[in-house]
Structure 1
Amino acid sequence: MEQLVIVFGAFFVDCLLGDPRSKYHPVALMGSMIAFLERVFYRATDDAGKKLFMGGMLLLIVLLLCFNAAEGMEKLFRQLRLPHLGMALESIALAFMISPRSLAEAGMEIYHLLREKDIAAARQAVGMIVSRDTETLDEAEIARAAVETVAENTVDGVIAPLFFYFIGGLPLAVLYRASNTMDAMIGYRNEKYLYFGKIAARLDDVLNYIPARMTGILFVIAAFLLRKDAVGAWRMLWRDASKHPSPNGGYAEAPVAGALGIRLGGENLYFGEVHFRAHMGDPEQPVDAGAIRDTIRLMYTAAILFMLFAYAAFSIYDVYVSWL
């Protein structure tokens, strides 16, 4: 049960304070370390095999350093003479690994800008959270980009870190966040990173496999609780999730599309090139600012459901053990 107290504490801390925008934030420090090691290991003149090897070396070094640092912190917290202080410090450390409030704030900023019809500012704001080109997006495309990002990052920024914390404590949660940060920085299928970032991208896919599917089911339940279309969410989860180019992204986006009666996917512009992403959901409702707000509500509800289900599982386990 101690893990549950720490998880609830971390979620409360994040909802209360959010992520401080600082170069000393643990995830920002991970990013700086990855950028430094990339400069050390990456050479544009290397052949594909060497780029693959050097990218794997970068991945191994980053994961070992982050895992060992977190393991040391966890041992220190648990050796403190004041156990409640140790749990509080571990909650704060775990809070740095999740980002529901940051997701919500980014989404709500775009929501308010669209409501105010400030399309130029909304394009700039959505450009801070997506990798696609945003200079020519209209209101519906801006809203779609925000909805897709909040839905998909419910896995990366909330459910997956908590899932790995329950499995392996703070070290595994930090290892997951390091892997996810590496994927965000070098896991692209472009000329530079196709081989150098390939192992990082594949590891991120593997780590997110179970959390993504759990998130899809949680979104269906959240849709029911929020009086959205839970049947549609379930139907789209099964019909459209596998259409996403990522092996995991569709399991978050498809049920959200079904729950809100909207269609996600379509044409996206990356560095001036048009890429088509298969559609998910049916266009029963327009994709507008309200869809962003509703996706944020689904995200928070899914996160709370995950913690409640974890509490129920631990409670059942404790009762079972007491009967033995």
Structure 2
Amino acid sequence: MNSIWILPASLLLDLGFGDPQGFPHPVRLIGKLARYMEKSTRKHFSSERFAGIITAFSIYSISFIFPWMIIKLSQHLHPFLGELASTFFIYTSIALKDLLDHSKDVYSALHENDLEKARIMVGKIVGRDTANLGEPEIVRAGLESVGESLVDGVTAPLFFAALGGPTLAMLYRSINTLDSLFGYKNSTYLKFGWASARMDDLANYIPARLTAPLLCVSSAILGFYPIRSFKIMIRDGRKHPSPNSGLCESALAGALKIQLGGRNYYSGIPSEKPKLGDPDRKLAPNLILDANKIIFLTSILSSVLFLGLGQVVHLMFGTFF
């Protein structure tokens, strides 16, 4: 990706427009295609794990090849059209505005003392049961969602876009989408979703370890608790079942001097998650706005760092994608 303006332009487009409903979005198309292929491979292969592997790598290949073809065709017509196509695909791989807007919706409902609305709003961004959550648990759910989604929805796509261009960003987005569809440890997807879950862990490994320290830096710039953030990240970051999700969640918990994790319910079944951070402050609605400030600044710092890394990689090795 030779044009240094493409990554910032993509991020600005996301901040300006987010994910417009009804707009033909590549990520939604990936999800629909994945569901179709799941039915097909389950029908044709007796081994659930093998069917899942075939589904995953077929989707990964399509998600890489089609953007590459569209960009190459656009470049053939005019170099600027190629840059516009590249910008579009990177823009659709990022979800910063939606992440911030959804969490603000939860805050607004709590600020209005409308618990029922807040439960509905937070239910749109978490997988746990929300019908009976009280205010502190709604706040916790919202904070855990933004902490976990920072890498998946923002910094990892930026990382891969900076290093490998729009095709690599879309490949990452397909990996993350399949994990969200199939990466469940239940009877339906434990075997079928094995490859999708492992690939997501692998893809997020480096971005998560670059993002979490930047979150600590953001908390320092914004006047929160950076030393606590770093200490909690080191202490609790590996407690989470995911090898990546706990890093940013624990760094966020430390920055806000709160505790995340605990008991959640999924379809009425309790699930204990490791506790991250210390309960020095109560879980109040205003913490959602504080978290959004940290998430936003971390995203900006990440884009600057990754853009610099991408330029170094390009100068040393050239453009591969």
Instruction: Provide TM-score, normalisation by structure 2.
Output: 0.94
Question: In the TM superposition, what is the alpha-carbon distance from 1:316 to its structure 2 partner?
Answer: 7.1
Task: Give 2:108's aligned residue.
Answer: 112
Q: Which amino acid aligns with 2:196?
A: A
Whole-angstrom CA distance in 2 between matches of 1:314 and 1:199: 28
* 1:79 and 2:76 aligned: yes
Q: Is 2:228 the partner of 1:232?
A: yes
Is the Cα contact below 8 Å between 1:43 and 1:51 reproduced in 2?
no
Matched residues, percent identical? 35
Q: Look up the SS of the partner of 1:11 in the other structure.
A: helix
Q: Tell me the residue number matched to 2:188.
A: 192
- Contact (CA 8 Å) 2:214, 2:298: kept in 1 or not? yes
- 1:44, CA displacement in angstroms? 12
Q: Distance in 2 between matches of 1:131 and 1:306?
A: 27
Is it true that 1:268 corresponds to 2:258 in the alignment? no
Q: Which residue pairs with 2:18 in the alignment? A: 18
Cα distance in 2 between the residues matched to 1:54 and 1:296: 39
Q: Distance in 2 between matches of 1:31 and 1:23?
A: 15
Question: Size of the alignment, in residue pairs?
Answer: 317
SS at match of 1:288: coil
Counterpart CA distance in 2 for 1:160 and 1:5 is 18
Matched residue SS, 1:42: helix
Given that residues 23 and 29 in structure 1 are in contact (C-alpha distance below 8 angstroms), is that contact kept between their aligned partners in structure 2? no
Letter in 2 for 1:170: P
Q: Equivalent residue for 1:31?
A: 31
AA aligned to 2:27 is: V
Which secondary structure does the structure 2 equivalent of 1:156 belong to? helix
Moved more, 127-136 or 162-171: 162-171
Deviation at 1:167, TM superposition (A): 2.2
CA distance in 1, matches of 2:306, 2:245: 23
Q: Please say if 1:309 is aligned against 2:281.
A: no
Aligned twin of 2:57: 60
Q: Following TM superposition, by how much is the alpha carbon of 1:120 offset from its aligned partner in structure 2, in angstroms? A: 0.4
Correspondence for 1:206: 202
TM-score (norm 1): 0.93
Contact 1:123/1:134 (8 A) holds in 2 = yes
Is the 1:22–1:28 Cα contact (8 Å) retained in structure 2? no
Aligned partners of 1:317 and 1:70: how far apart in 2? 21
Q: Tell me which of 133, 137, 144 is aligned to 2:140.
A: 144
What displacement does 1:72 show? 0.8
CA deviation after TM superposition for structure 1 residue 39, in Å:
1.4
CA separation of 1:306/1:181 partners in 2, compared to 1, >3 Å: closer, same or farther? same
Is it true that 1:298 corresponds to 2:294 in the alignment? yes
With over 3 angstroms needed to count, the CA separation of the structure-2 counterparts of 1:317 and 1:124, relative to structure 1, is closer
Whether the 8 Å contact between 1:129 and 1:149 is mirrored in structure 2 is yes
Give the C-alpha shift of residue 91 in structure 1: 1.1
Kept in 2, the 8 Å contact 1:18–1:99? The answer is yes
TM-superposed CA distance for 1:291, in Å, is 1.4
Distance in 2 separating the partners of 1:68 and 1:45? 25
1:289 corresponds in structure 2 to 285
Aligned mates of 1:310, 1:133 — CA distance in 2:
36
| Structure 2 CA distance for partners of 1:277 and 1:109, relative to 1, 3 Å | same
Any idea what the Cα deviations from partners look like across 1:136-169, whole Å, max 9, x if unmatched?
Answer: 1110111111111111111001110111112221
Question: Residue 154 of structure 1: which of 128, 142, 150 is its match?
Answer: 150
Unmatched segments (≥5 aa) in structure 2:
none
Return the alpha-carbon distance in structure 2 between the equivalents of residues 182 and 205 of structure 1: 12
